[in-house]
Amino acid sequence: MQAPAGSGKTGLLTQRVLRLLAGVAEPEAILAITFTRKAAAEMRARVLEALHAAADQNTPPESDYQRQLWSLARAALEQNTKRGWRLLDNPQRLRMMTIDALCLSLAQRMPVLSRFGGPLGVETNPGALYREAAGAALRHASDPDGARREASRRVLAHLNGDVNRAEAMLARMLSSREQWLRHVVDGQLERAALEQAVEAVVRESLHALRAAVPRTLEREVCALARFAALNAPEEKATQLSAWRERIALPDADASMATAWAGLANLLLTQAGTWRRQVTKREGFPAASSGANAQQKALFKEMKARMLTLLERLDGDAELAERLDEARRLPPTRYEASQWEVLAALGQLMVMAAGYLTLSFAQREAVDFAEVSLSASRALGDLDNPSDLALKLDHALQHILVDEFQDTSHAQYRLLERLTAEWTPEDRRTLFLVGDPMQSIYRFREAEVGLFLSLFDVSGRTPGRLGGIELHPLQLTVNFRSRRAVVDWVNYAFVSVMPEEADVERGAAPFSRAACFEPPGAAPDPLASADVRLTTDAQDEARQAVALTQQALADFPEGQVAILARARPHLAAIAAGLKQAGIRYRAVEIEALANRPWILDMLALTRALLHRGDRVAWLSLLRAPWCGLQLADLHLLAGGDAGPRGCITEKLARWERLAGLSDDARARLARVWPVLSQALGASRRRGRLRDWLLSVWRALGGEACLRDARELADIDAYLNLLDQLEEGGAMPQEALLTERMASLFAAVDDGPDVRVQLMTIHKSKGLEFDCVIVPGLSRTPYRGEPELLQWAERPSRDAALLLAPIKRVGGDEDPLYAHLTRLERQKGAFEAGRLLYVAATRARRRLHLLGQAPALGESGEGIPANGSFLALLWPALTDEAAAQSLIWPEEPDADNLEPLDPLDPPSVPLQQLAPALSQTLARLPACWTPPPLADDVELPEQSVTASVEPDAEPVAFDWASETARLVGVAAHGALRRLAEVGVDAWRDQGGGAAQAAIERQLRALGAPHDELERAVAKCVAAIENCAEDPVGRWILDPSHEAARSEWDLTGVIDGKRQRMVVDRTFIDAEGARWIIDFKTGAHEGGDPQGFLDNEAERYRAQLEGYARLLRRLEPQRPIRVGLYFPLMRGWRHWIPRQNDGALP
């Protein structure tokens, strides 16, 4: 079923599920699949809402739709009662899920066959893993294995030795491996199959070209081409040689490609337009050049006939496009050098995929592509289904798929496997719903051609999915939008979208909608649709703000959405809304990675973890909490002599550093002690997140923020570090950069916020009273060339087209160029669909904004190719649409109020230049943390604002640097062990934990010659805890109020005291335990005496912890203890109660 925007698709799906529930033995016999969790939740909510309403209401509603819904729900409830389902109490029996959730459940049910292995998590940001696997594969350039070495070397030579570029390209290939990996047999690409796919493309292209030639002109075309072949100069005659004896059009066969290319060169210019004139160069000599009167007459006649033919063909854009494509068709066979590179790339990709699998196993997580591949393996082949496939075949009676236009090839094959055994006699149903006009997710491998290949609204050629014949249905009524909007969309998009479907190129034709209007309803006077052209980006932003204000006034209860093709298109508008005092909800728009306070926090992180990072240290010292002037930074960086030594070395002797300004000395006197103490700590306790937060607050970071939203940004960054750190080590740079790109500012969720800013992709499925679409004149970023261009054809065999990127400095590969053009064509068609999605979100008002196009040589406006405005321009320049096109007026310079460029989110730099201020935002040099209030009440979890030590430091002179690092790694491992539990850790296996410990110790700088022994100590500590009854008891996650590395601050003896408790919980008798882990070991005799001495050594520290915790729980008994994992040693006692010193 094709269900265009606003056609009531969700309501229809709800009705169908209810109808099916009335006829199945179990609700699990119905499977409803969609592509987002939000859509699945909405479908489930709609069904349950209908069931609850029918259960509570005994009389049918008045409206036709509600009455039908009520009737279907009542029938479903009768079956529910009859079969004892208790659906209202057990809604989880309704199987409505995303396609990814379905794949995950299939893979987990057959862990061996799917090679999924066990309960792995799903990594939603696997980019760093792709780079890691790609790099591992490329390192085979020095491998002793000859085949692998040659594959890596050949690929690197092809890219001129650019390892970074090769790694990035190979990493991008891994993200789409479910498309190409199945075409690799025994680690090799199948040359014959790939060449057959190219031949099929050439054959189909020529078939379409032959069909596009008007039948009434075939004879004339052949006669004129034959004449030209006989009379053209030698270089042209060679191109037309196939036409010398031809009296009919060539067959649509790959062997005839040269003949068709020659005809294209005859009829078209190099630009792909119809020729206006022909000369002797094209094979039509001037009449005067004839040798005799008869020949002169012939030359004159043939030239006139040729010009008449060209005149008749003028305007046939489809034929011109097909001819132009014919002369650029690729050869059907790979050249030897081309295949050598392609074969090497195939081997390299398989190696990279193997390394990626190893990375997944180590991290106990996979990506969605692996989930899809695992689900496919779990179901087996079409000819050899697995037991799971047979079981599902018996259980499933009905499958519904929502948003089918966004199905990928892998998901399409999954549906084929799920329905492989279905027969017409089963009375089972497959219901596919979607709208090809709204297919906008090619970046997620969506292939609209799959929908188009199955859907023929005429019904003359029913589609088939596997062995199932599909019957087309089409909805046409728009229940969402007012007539003004529907009529404008109907008119404009006839020229934006193609007239005919093209499966290969992903061209979905436009389908007009009918506006639903209740009987007797009056036209909506506030409904409208228009395109407004502006003078520049600032003018466009001002108009967007003004239109937003008008819509908020016209629709007091309504919602306004500003939808953009890309996030940067909204930056200036967001600044304008903020300046106008209009609250807005920006959905994943304002990237945290570009915000100054996040960049400062990132600099602090890098500086503290990498003392030699000069850029980070200079950024830290320039940040508002310090705010050194550029001259002072220049001096610290080495002055005119250039970089010399670490900046921290100069900071350590800043008091003796000549040339520093008095202002810098005052600031460093406050800041350097904080940084020095952070760098010199014998062992950083707790999470990286908490440590950085402590240092940042001590520096005055929180005092540099303006509001709670900026503090929320800091919290989001720290939470990301918490997810990525491995025992306190800095995350990999590539991983941190990738994950930072997905961090966005918190949205304003206030109930009175009526304006939303989002990308068009995010708006899919939503609707608003007023929609504003800016950036019509902007063009999209095309991206970097791919290592391989490939296309999996939307047909039953899903043949793969594959071509390598050209050699650096070499000629372009014809097949690569063909696939690149195909991708651009698909992208152009999708751009029209993206604009359609934006326009159809509007209920009552639609405004599209763009900058007036520059005037061409003809004096007419020419929009930039690839822009939305270029797509709309043919419709807008028609007289019938003139009233909806509003040209810019000359701005009144006296009344223009510039947007505040310094108010984030920022606008482009060139727009900021006039307003940039040289004022340095920073804390006063004399700033100090505010004093603690006398009547402060300590919360349960109070975080420190200083980095004071907890109590008298305990000396660790006996501990080597490696022993210190072992302690850091072991504490992190024990924390993770406490989170998952000993039994779960054993089930998962210790190999991944050991690998993580090794990576962490490497990152912490453990010496290579001591690394193996350090890892062994950490593993021994974990295994001892897992086997020792005391260790298992301490780490038991089921304890009440259990926490690991609990960071607390309180006031003792009038001073702020901070502590990090390794492990705390409340035991079965209600006592609070405070336990510290000690990873040291005793090599000599009398181990019990050593443990007693250690207990005395740390008694004051632990009892200080107890004093502070007693403030939180004054009535609860407290116990303290030391646990030594490497010795399985345990010392514990009841702390003294001398609380009189507490304020």
Q: Which residues belong to the annotated binding site for ATP?
A: 3-10
Mutual orientation of helices 368-379 and 387-395 as an angle, nearest 10°?
90
- Tally of CA atoms within 13 A in the half-sphere of 1116 that contains its CB: 21
Dihedral of CA atoms 514, 517, 518, 522 in degrees, nearest 10, equals -160
Three-state DSSP at 867 gives coil
Q: Pick left, alpha or beta for residue 518 (phi over 0 → left; psi -120 to 50 → alpha; otherwise beta).
A: beta
**Alpha-carbon gap, residue 574 to 589, rounded angstroms:** 10
Torsion angles phi and psi, residue 729, rounded to 5: -80, 150
Q: Are 523 and 732 in contact (CB under 8 A)?
A: no
SS (HEC) of 61-82: CCCHHHHHHHHHHHHHHHHHHH
What is the number of other CB atoms lying within 10 angstroms of the CB of residue 816?
21
Overall size of the chain counted in residues: 1143
**Alpha-carbon gap, residue 242 to 260, rounded angstroms:** 9
Q: Taking the chain, what is the end-to-end CA distance rounded to the nearest angstrom?
A: 73
Local structure of residue 1136 (DSSP, 8 states): P
**Alpha-carbon gap, residue 217 to 313, rounded angstroms:** 9
Three-state DSSP at 999 gives helix
- What DSSP string describes 310-374? HHHHTT-HHHHHHHHHHTTPPPSS--HHHHHHHHHHHHHHHHHHHHHHHHHHHHTEE-HHHHHHH
Tokens standing for residue 202: 């050439």
Please report, in range form, the residues annotated as the binding site.
3-10
Alpha-helical (H) ranges within 989-1085 are 991-1004, 1008-1027, 1029-1035
- 295's CB contacts (< 8 A; 6+ apart) are none
* Inter-CA distances, 36 with 41, 100, 579, 839, Å: 9, 9, 35, 22
- Nearest alpha-carbon partner for 156 in 334, 569, 164, 252: 164
Torsion angles phi and psi, residue 827, rounded to 5: -65, -40
Local structure of residue 184 (DSSP, 8 states): E
Residue whose tokens read 């029938």: 75
SS (HEC) of 405-447: HHCCHHHHHHHHHHCCCCCHHHCCEEEECECHHHCCCHHHCCC
- 190's CB contacts (< 8 A; 6+ apart) are 183
Burial of 128 (0-12, 13-18, 19+ CB in 10 A): buried
- 203's CB contacts (< 8 A; 6+ apart) are 252, 253, 254
Q: Are 432 and 454 in contact (CB under 8 A)?
A: yes
**In sequence order, what are the beta bridge partners of 507?**
502
Dihedral of CA atoms 389, 392, 396, 400 in degrees, nearest 10, equals -60
Cα-trace Rg, the chain: 36
**Alpha-carbon gap, residue 529 to 485, rounded angstroms:** 6
Tokens standing for residue 592: 């945290």
- What DSSP string describes 1021-1036? HHHHHHHSHHHHHHH-
